[in-house]
Amino acid sequence: MEKIHVKTPLVEMDGDEMTRIIWQMIKDELLTPYLDMPTVYFDLGLKHRDATDDQVTFDAARATADYGVAVKCATITPNQDRVVEYGLKKAWPSPNGTIRGILDGTVFRAPIIVRNIHPMLRTWRKPIIIGRHAYGDVYRNQEYKVPGPGKAELVFTPADGGEPVRLTIHDFQGPGVIQGIHNTEKSIRSFARACIQFAINQKMPLWFSTKDTISKTYHAFFRDIFQEEVNAHKAAMDAAGVEYFYTLIDDAVARVIRHEGGFLWACMNYDGDVMSDMLATGFGSLALMTSVLVNPAGIMEFEAAHGTVQRHYYAHLRGEKTSTNSTASIFAWTGALARRGELDGTPEVESFARKLEAAVIETIEGGEMTKDLTLLCDPPVDHYLTTEGFIHAVRAKFDAKMA
Ligand code: NAP
Ligand code: MG
């Protein structure tokens, strides 16, 4: 069989532990036998990040900006234990944080829907994707524990020498607590643009929610910037059939619970933090959750939402059989390939990616799955596959499709 040619190289970021093992298996079994696929490879494995003083992470992020599409394996964000385990020079920052900062991107988490793995809620039939604004608000706050009576004020001092603006927060009669938070127009605008880009790309309705009835300046600022960006992108949104829906956060939560899904929910930072964990659990499994970083210009980096599955890796190192689910990692590759195909104008690459996704879903729906899913599966199955066994089963299904 002639291999399908991928025109522009994908930026590939390798990672750590069990996901690094899976990464190689996916390439060997499911990609290179079918694709002539050039990649620009960066080893983001912790040892190599340490050896390069984390330069490799910066290089990978810049290459992503140059090429437009990247696929990333899960990586360790080192804590003190990892510094000792790997003999690191220091606890390097989270690669995802570094990449997100350089690309000025927003992270979208999307569940993979499989018919025999049921969401906790019967109403959910299609993915509900969360876009979380990952800058500011309570995550960059200034806090103070008020010891006793006194006046708390908000003071803004203009850089141009103008008169400071003072607002009373509260006249304290006794002890209490205060907090100062901020956001920037630039960051909110980037977030709105990334959400609009993603909604257009996925041809999905876009929801946005705040509490602007209570926060008539802060939350209303978010609402207004979103609306401005939606107006500015109206033609492209209309062309893709993307509708914009704005509502209060509490109303949005109530609607999400009753909705069948199939939309993008843009969330302020704290709402996104809380709601993404609610949705991940509600849809069933972290191993069926993908994640994509999108920047305002449409640059995309695809990965699995889960980590490096450390516990399974140690079992693997002890020579034990593992049953690690590679679904989200496979979908990271197919997401990136489909996007690459779309940008390159190579429908055969897009179609390859969609067929491989279908093979994965049909494999699981046919009752062949890893251990994590057997606990959630209905109708129940009486056996599960190893890490390799699952990838072999996907390959068999895929070969049948391609024949
Ligand atoms: P994790 O790797 O997501 O795994 C937590 C647990 O979830 C696993 O022990 C396993 O449960 C289950 N699980 C997750 N993915 C699975 C899969 N594909 N197949 C089967 N089961 C799966 O989280 P962690 O153990 O807290 O973190 C490990 C490392 O990952 C950390 O060093 C962290 O820094 C890193 N991390 C990286 C990213 C990223 O690169 N995006 C994200 C999160 C965490 P059982 O053990 O019960 O089987
Ligand atoms: Mg959270």
Banded pLDDT at 330 (limits 50, 70, 90): very high
pTM comes to 0.90
Banded pLDDT at 140 (limits 50, 70, 90): confident
Name the region of 37 (left: φ>0; alpha: ψ -120 to 50; beta: rest).
Answer: beta
Give residue-wise pLDDT tens across range 337-396: 999 999 999 999 999 999 999 999 999 999 999 999 998 899 999 999 999 999 999 999
- Going by alpha carbons, the residue nearest to atom 5 of ligand 1 is 309
pLDDT surpassing 80 at residue 81: yes
Does 98 contact ligand 1 (Cβ within 6 A)?
no
- pLDDT score of 401: 87
- Going by alpha carbons, the residue nearest to atom 42 of ligand 1 is 307
CA of 219 from ligand 2 middle (Å) equals 21
Q: How far, in Å, CA of 52 to CA of 95, rounded?
A: 13
Q: How far, in Å, CA of 75 to CA of 85, rounded?
A: 15
- pLDDT score of 120: 87
CA of 346 from ligand 1 middle (Å) equals 34
Banded pLDDT at 105 (limits 50, 70, 90): confident
Banded pLDDT at 306 (limits 50, 70, 90): very high
Which of 26, 308, 373, 386 to probe ligand 1 with, by most ligand atoms within 8 A of CB?
A: 308
Q: What mean pLDDT, rounded, does the chain reach?
A: 95
- pLDDT score of 165: 97
Segment 222-250 shows an average pLDDT of: 98
Residue 120: count of CB within 10 angstroms of its CB = 11
Ligand located closest to 275 CA: 2
Banded pLDDT at 85 (limits 50, 70, 90): very high
Phi/psi of residue 353, nearest 5 degrees: -60, -45
CA of 272 from ligand 2 middle (Å) equals 8
**Diameter over CA atoms, the chain:** 80
Which residues, including other chains, have CB under 8 Å from residue 397's CB and lie 6 or more apart?
359, 360, 362, 363, 366
- Among the residue ranges 178-187, 248-257, 271-280, the one predicted with the least confidence is 271-280
pLDDT surpassing 90 at residue 280: no
pLDDT surpassing 80 at residue 1: no
- pLDDT score of 342: 94
CA of 12 from ligand 1 middle (Å) equals 20
Does 96 contact ligand 1 (Cβ within 6 A)?
yes
- pLDDT score of 135: 87
CA of 137 from ligand 2 middle (Å) equals 15
Segment 139-149 shows an average pLDDT of: 94
Q: How far, in Å, CA of 55 to CA of 66, rounded?
A: 17
Residue 170 host element (H or E): strand 165-172
CA of 166 from ligand 2 middle (Å) equals 34
- Alpha carbon distances (Å) from 173 to 142, 149, 152: 22, 4, 11
Does 309 contact ligand 1 (Cβ within 6 A)?
yes
Domains of the chain: 1-110+287-403 (3.40.718.10), 118-141+187-283 (3.40.35), 142-180 (no CATH)
Ligand located closest to 289 CA: 1
* CA proximity to 299, closest of 352, 336, 265, 334: 336
Does 386 contact ligand 1 (Cβ within 6 A)?
no
The b/e string for 87-97 (b: 16+ C-beta within 10 A; e otherwise) is ebeeebeebbe
- Going by alpha carbons, the residue nearest to atom 33 of ligand 1 is 76
CA of 263 from ligand 2 middle (Å) equals 20
Q: Looking at this protein, which amino acid is placed at residue 61? A: A
Q: Which residue has the higher pLDDT, 231 or 298?
A: 231
pLDDT surpassing 80 at residue 237: yes
- Going by alpha carbons, the residue nearest to atom 38 of ligand 1 is 307
Which of 108, 306, 387, 388 to probe ligand 1 with, by most ligand atoms within 8 A of CB?
A: 306
Q: Looking at this protein, which amino acid is placed at residue 369? A: M
Does 306 contact ligand 1 (Cβ within 6 A)?
yes
What are 353's two structure tokens?
């990616």
